[in-house]
Amino acid sequence: MLRFQVVLDTNVLVAGLRSRRGASFRLLSQIGVSERFEINLSVPLVLEYEDVLKRKTHAERLHLGPEDVDDVLDFLCAVGNRWQIFFLWRPVLRDPKDDMVLEVGVQAGCSHIVTHNVSDFEESIRFGIRAVPPRQFLAELEELE
């Protein structure tokens, strides 16, 4: 069975934890359960997730305490493929924080970066990585069935 290798942009994680109605939540619900994709992480990316999720403005909207965020991150680290990045291709993208997402994608040989800001990752195609929103990625997963 084909198993996609993906990297989640931080905005997908935030959106999925904020609301149970959208594609981001459906995607997060499949992490560690679906045999059709695996997520990929690095220490800098997990620290970025933690920083954003624990910021007061996000934490209040997400209704998550610091311990809840730690539990989410622990789960992602337990089920995700962890990578050390020994190279830096910066800057490639407009936002340096997006470059760390791309670096994981390149190191892991990912097919997709799942993001709500597809235009921010236009250059990822140079590395054979497609940037797609969660809804499109879920549609591609359904095509595999």
Question: Tokens 């250059």 map to which residue?
Answer: 123
Number of helices (H) and strands (E), helices first, in the chain? 7, 5
CATH number for position 49 = 3.40.50.1010
- Domain that includes residue 11, residue range: 4-144
Q: Based on the structure, what is the number of domains in the chain?
A: 1
What angle is formed at CA 26 by the lines to CA 32 and CA 81, rounded to 5 degrees?
30
> What's the predicted TM-score (pTM) here?
0.93
Tell me the pLDDT of the chain (145 aa) as tens digits: 568 999 999 999 999 999 999 999 999 999 999 999 999 999 999 999 999 999 876 667 888 888 999 999 999 999 999 999 987 667 888 888 899 999 999 999 999 999 999 999 999 999 999 999 999 999 999 886 6
